[in-house]
Chains A and B, each alone.
Chain A
Amino acid sequence: MFSRWSSLQWFVVGAGVLGLVVLPFFTENDAIRKWMDILMIAILAISWNFIGGLTGYPSFAPAAFFGLGAYTTAIFMKAGFSFFTTLAFGAGLGALIALILGIPILRLRGHYFAIATFGVAEFFRELADNLRITGGGDGINLPQIVGGPDYFTRFFYYSMLGVAILAFLSQYFVTRHRVGFGLVAIRENEDAAEMVGIDTTKYKIIAFVLSSVFPAMGGGVYAYRAAFLEPIDVFDILFSIKAIVMSMLGGVGTVMGPLLGAFIMEYIADFLWSQFTEFHTIFFGLIVVLIVLFIPNGLMAVFQEARQKGFGSLGGIFLGNIKRFRI
């Protein structure tokens, strides 16, 4: 688990990051926007992985923190603060709320914790719908950014990329550190983890806080770019669901998994949107069903198995996955 990366892995990651950084010099604004969306979803998936993947506490809170960050940026930018300052506020507020909420709800196990996070996400949405400071159901406007479409696109792309890199690096370092091992131990057997000397309460809270900070910042970037927010847009539980499904697709609890899942999923979703605008949710739903049935442990696991058994057995591996969880 979490063994050192081979030179090949370093090369791939390095090339990927470099590619993302120079992307805007080689493509049109449309493509850059698409990649920005991919990065945004990747941030949600990576963040979910801290609490859901590594620690085994599936959370629906990414949407809550995303919306929180979005509205924080909106409210504070209207009050005159600079964009990046509001991102810091969003991150701080997200962490604070994760800490405060985390203490009571992280005592819950399994589905109860998941439901509590669902309740939190929905509660935030209802609040945003009804409070004056958020503009209620009418929404809230943000100050517009000054600059032409090229500047506009690149500014937001690089902002999102920055947050994504932060999220990815955090995940990398957590898994290289004792904390990462502790989180996995909690997932595998919480009682045994406590008995081995792991302060499970502290670690769970750390994971939950980490899972809140980056969605909040991502939400802030989204808000500034959209220039207008409605509660239903940013507190959409679909964000949380996508984060979970993408982590599943890539491989829950792995370092590269959420990233991989996010890229593939978002690419497919974008393709579906352009081909079947009317019905793309149907196809998305179908893909979700197929992933749960045939790739429940993620593509990383499938690759590993294929490497052992030979790539010809790919079909067999998918079928084997479906047999594993049957009645």
Chain B
Amino acid sequence: MNNKLLLEGKGVTKRFGGLTAVSGLDFFVRQGEILGLIGPNGAGKTTLINCITGMNPPEAGTVFFEGRPIEKLKPHVIARLGVARTFQIVQPFPSLTARDNVVMGALFGSGMPQKNIGRARGIADEKLEFVGLSAQAGRLASQLTLAERKRLEFAKSLAAEPKILLLDEVNAGLNSAEIKMAIDLIRKVREQGVTILVIEHLMKVIMDLSDRVLVLHHGEKIAEGAPRTIAADEQVIKAYLGEKYAALAENLK
């Protein structure tokens, strides 16, 4: 892991009508690291991802990817630059097979966009095997279980050979065995050189996986640093559990 900043945001602000979802946020992700993004519900985590990927462009602020400002670019252009994401509520291509779903990622993604459909199919099979879905390759996406669909979405983003992968609550709805598998996969992906930003609710996962953690609350950054530090941070505890527990934690120190 070097110190080069792959993704950086300065003063990112996103409003929805009267509600400010993200407010003047500065953040960065180093190349090769796993950044955990946490915060209570409604903190603005998914909104931030949408800002980065161009789905909901920010009202103010700049997002830099590899030094280039991307906040005004269209989503497909940003995707082609090497930014891949998964959705909190999975978004497959329902009546296509699992393999064809992943082929889409290979065909249009950033790493050497494959114009050759045959080669794209090869990449798809590779990624399906990586996530353990080879047996389901021929089944329709709509027939897969939730856990399988999450892995499918993961495979689809990997097929695009991204430089950074934004994972939005990949573990929602999974049991502990499935979660463990997901953590393993994420680690393996990082080993292949992909930078990862993980949004997660489960503390244990974030603590295990992340090199660094960023905490959002009401659209603002309230803490940033190593996982251990964050876990003990009073502001963070207050945000998640309320004043009483924060005071309790303080007393217990």
With both beta carbons as reference points, the residue of chain B lying nearest to A199 in the complex is identified as B76
Contact A197 B76 (CB under 8 A): yes
The reply to whether A191 and B96 contact each other, CB–CB distance below 8 Å, is no
B72 at the interface (CB under 8 A from A): no
Residue of B53, B92, B93, B105 with highest tally of chain A CB at under 10 A: B93
Bound form: Cα–Cα A197–B109 in Å: 6
User: How many angstroms between the C-alpha atoms of A207 and B209 in the bound complex?
Assistant: 44
* Minimum CB–CB distance for B110 against chain A, Å: 7
The answer to the question of A198 belonging to the interface, with a C-beta cut-off of 8 Å to chain B, is: yes
* Chain A interface residue count, Cβ-Cβ cutoff 8 angstroms: 21
Tell me whether A1 is interfacial, beta carbon within 8 Å: yes
With A195-B85, A196-B104 known as contacts, the answer to whether A188 contacts B94 (CB < 8 A) is: yes
Known A178-B117, A195-B55, A197-B110; contact A185-B104, beta-carbon cutoff 8 A = yes
Contact A182 B94 (CB under 8 A): no
Q: Which residues of A contact B92 (CB under 8 A)?
A: 188-189, 192
In this assembly, does A184 line the interface, its C-beta being within 8 Å of a C-beta of chain B? Answer: yes
Chain B CB within 8 A of A89 CB: no
Question: What 11 additional pairs, Cβ within 8 angstroms, besides A182-B108, A189-B92, A195-B55?
Answer: A177-B115, A181-B104, A181-B117, A182-B107, A188-B93, A195-B76, A196-B108, A196-B160, A197-B76, A197-B109, A198-B108
- B43: Cβ under 8 A from any A Cβ: no
* B115 and A188 within 8 A (CB): no
Within 8 A of B (CB), among A171-220: 176-178, 181-182, 184-185, 188-189, 191-200
**Docked complex Cα distance between A55 and B50 (Å):** 25
Q: Does B229 contact A (CB under 8 A)?
A: no
Q: Are A195 and B117 in contact (CB under 8 A)?
A: no
Contact (A189, B91) CB under 8 Å given A196-B79, A200-B76:
yes
Within 8 Å of chain A (Cβ to Cβ): is B45? no
Q: Which B residues, 74 to 133, have Cβ-Cβ distances below 8 Å to chain A?
A: 74-77, 79-80, 85, 87, 91-97, 100, 103-105, 107-110, 113-115, 117
Given contacts A178-B117, A182-B108, contact A197 B100 (CB under 8 A): no
Q: Can you sample 28 A-B contacts with CB below 8 Å?
A: A1-B100, A176-B117, A178-B114, A178-B117, A181-B100, A181-B103, A181-B107, A181-B117, A184-B93, A185-B104, A188-B92, A188-B94, A188-B96, A189-B92, A189-B94, A191-B91, A193-B104, A194-B74, A195-B76, A195-B85, A196-B108, A196-B109, A197-B76, A197-B79, A197-B80, A197-B113, A198-B76, A200-B76
Chain A residues with Cβ below 8 Å from B104 are 181, 185, 193, 196, 198
Nearest A-chain residue to B116, judged by Cβ: A178
CB distance A178 to B87 under 8 Å? no
Q: Which residue of A lies closest to B81 (CB)?
A: A197
Whether B156 sits at the interface, judged by CB under 8 Å, is yes
Question: Is the CB–CB distance between A178 and B108 below 8 Å?
Answer: yes
Q: Which A residues lie within 8 Å of B114 (CB)?
A: 178
C-alpha gap A182/B55 in the complex (Å): 18
Q: Which residue of B lies closest to A203 (CB)?
A: B76
Inter-chain CA distance A181–B124, complex, in Å, is 14
Could you say which residues of chain B place their CB within 8 Å of the CB of A188? Answer: 92-96
Shortest beta-carbon distance from A178 to chain B in Å: 5
Q: Which of B79, B100, B107, B110 contacts A195 (CB 8 A)?
A: B79
A185 touching B76 in the complex, CB below 8 Å, given contacts A195-B85, A196-B104:
no
Q: Check A178/B115 contact, CB under 8 A, given A188-B94, A195-B53.
A: yes
B contact residues around A199 at 8 Å (CB): 74, 76-77
